[in-house]
């Protein structure tokens, strides 16, 4: 093999991306998992907290702290499910949408800076390949 293993390369890239995202999220008062929750809720409400945990990959017992913090900050609301009062429907608020949009814009600019050294065609191919490898619901 003429290059390091994918796991090694991806872990190095992931550490760099997370290090660059951290100040953006800190500035918004978010932790990385908070951002994951907001991102997951941007598409649709979560019918249950358990489903939100599955969508984000966050353990459902640890997710509660993120939901509590986001609700206190006014970024989400949790309401009882009228069909099953044991379930809580989690929804993004307008404030949460604004914070998410702002973070996404800043992260987009950070990613553009990170990938600026790539030729445009290489960048497009890299982004397409990552998306094809990761996004399973296409």
In a domain, 40, yes or no: yes
Residue 27 sits in a domain whose CATH number is 1.10.10.10
The model carries a pTM of: 0.87
Q: What is the mean pLDDT of the chain?
A: 93
Per-residue model confidence (pLDDT) at position 99: 98
Range of the domain at 48: 6-134
Which residues lie closer than 8 Å to 39 by C-beta, 6 or more apart?
100
In a domain, 66, yes or no: yes
Q: Which own/partner contact pairs does 8-11 have at CB distance under 8 Å and 24+ positions apart?
A: none
Per-residue model confidence (pLDDT) at position 83: 83
Structure tokens belonging to residue 4: 């390091």
The answer on pLDDT for 47 being more than 80 is no
In a domain, 34, yes or no: yes
């Amino acid at each position: 093999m003429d290059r390091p293993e994918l796991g090694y390369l991806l872990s190095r890239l992931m550490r760099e991306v997370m290090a660059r995202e951290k100040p953006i999220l800190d500035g918004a008062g978010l932790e990385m998992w908070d951002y994951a929750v907001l991102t997951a809720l941007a598409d649709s409400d979560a019918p249950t907290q358990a489903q939100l945990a599955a969508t984000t990959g966050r353990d459902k017992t640890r997710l509660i702290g993120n939901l509590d913090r986001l609700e206190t900050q006014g970024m989400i609301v949790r309401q009882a499910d009228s069909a099953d009062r044991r379930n809580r429907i989690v929804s993004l608020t307008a404030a949460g949408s604004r914070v998410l949009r702002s973070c996404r814009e800043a992260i987009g600019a950070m990613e553009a800076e990170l990938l600026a050294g790539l030729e445009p065609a290489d960048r497009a191919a890299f982004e397409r390949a990552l998306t094809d490898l990761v996004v399973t619901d296409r």
